[in-house]
């Protein structure tokens, strides 16, 4: 039976038999480490396979390895960490996406409700008595102060206040009935 050092030297010289011996010697141990941490046997198997593929590809760069078993075990642990981090990021993205879609869904529904309410308000304003409607539109839609409305219409500020109060009372009543 060859030592890890001898197997590493043979692996560096492209010896497929040495690679097979390393694979057979360490596969179960590495799989056990990965499966213990990952809890998903398919992912654990994939991690171990990736480690061996990487070992074969990097066979020329194995000069500083003192213990092949430790090297492979540490490689598995790093792959496990990367896999868990990838899973965690995917879960965060999925949660964020779900949140964004929920917010988007709610905002669309709220926008539609707002548009419906706005339309209903416009209808109710259109049904106000002529003077109330005019005063309301100048105040709320054009943003004129009561003093300016009084000057424009040639009426007193008290009359403007009375028309506005009447309009708001009617609209509140109609909107509360609509919302129920």
131 and 89 share one domain: no
Angle, alpha carbons 64-66-70 (nearest 5°) = 115
23 and 72 share one domain: yes
User: Structural domain tally of the chain?
Assistant: 2
Average pLDDT over residues 12-37: 91
Residue 180: which residues within 8 A CB-CB, separation 6 or more? Answer: none
pLDDT at 163: 92
Positive or negative: CA dihedral 39, 77, 12, 53: positive
Q: The CATH number of the domain where 150 resides is what?
A: 1.10.10.10
Q: What is the C-alpha separation between 162 and 156, in angstroms, rounded?
A: 10
pLDDT at 47: 93
Instruction: Give me the long-range contacts of 63-66 (CB less than 8 A, separation at least 24).
Output: 63/12, 65/8
Q: What is the C-alpha separation between 7 and 15, in angstroms, rounded?
A: 9
pLDDT at 32: 92
Smallest Cα–Cα separation from 53: which of 27, 85, 29? 27
Buried/exposed 126-148: b ≥16 CB within 10 Å, e otherwise: eebeebbbbbbbbbeeeebebee
Average pLDDT over residues 49-60: 90
pTM confidence score: 0.52
3-class SS at 40? coil
| Domain-embedded: residue 42 | yes
Give the residue numbers spanning the domain of 30.
4-94
Smallest Cα–Cα separation from 25: which of 8, 43, 44? 8
Is the pLDDT at 77 greater than 90? The verdict is yes
Is the pLDDT at 106 greater than 80? The verdict is no
Is the pLDDT at 104 greater than 70? The verdict is no
pLDDT digits (tens, 9 = 90+) for 112-155: 888 888 888 888 889 999 999 899 889 988 899 999 999 989 99
| Domain-embedded: residue 103 | no
Average pLDDT over residues 96-106: 70
């Amino acid at each position: 039976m060859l030592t890890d050092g001898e197997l590493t030297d043979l692996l560096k010289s492209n010896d497929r038999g040495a690679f097979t011996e390393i694979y057979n010697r360490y596969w179960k141990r590495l799989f056990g480490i990965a499966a213990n941490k990952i809890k998903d046997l398919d992912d654990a198997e994939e991690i171990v396979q990736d480690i061996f593929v990487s070992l074969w590809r990097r066979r020329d760069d194995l000069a500083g390895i003192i213990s092949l078993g430790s090297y492979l075990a540490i490689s598995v642990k790093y792959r496990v960490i990367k896999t868990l981090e990838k899973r965690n990021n995917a879960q965060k993205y999925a949660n964020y996406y779900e949140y964004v879609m929920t917010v988007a869904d709610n905002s669309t529904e709220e926008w539609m409700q707002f548009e419906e309410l706005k339309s209903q308000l416009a209808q109710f304003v259109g049904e106000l008595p002529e003077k109330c409607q005019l005063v309301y539109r100048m105040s709320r839609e054009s943003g004129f102060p009561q003093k300016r409305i009084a000057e424009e219409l040639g009426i007193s500020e008290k009359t403007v206040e009375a028309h506005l109060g009447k309009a708001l009372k009617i609209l509140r009543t109609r909107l509360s009935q609509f919302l129920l």
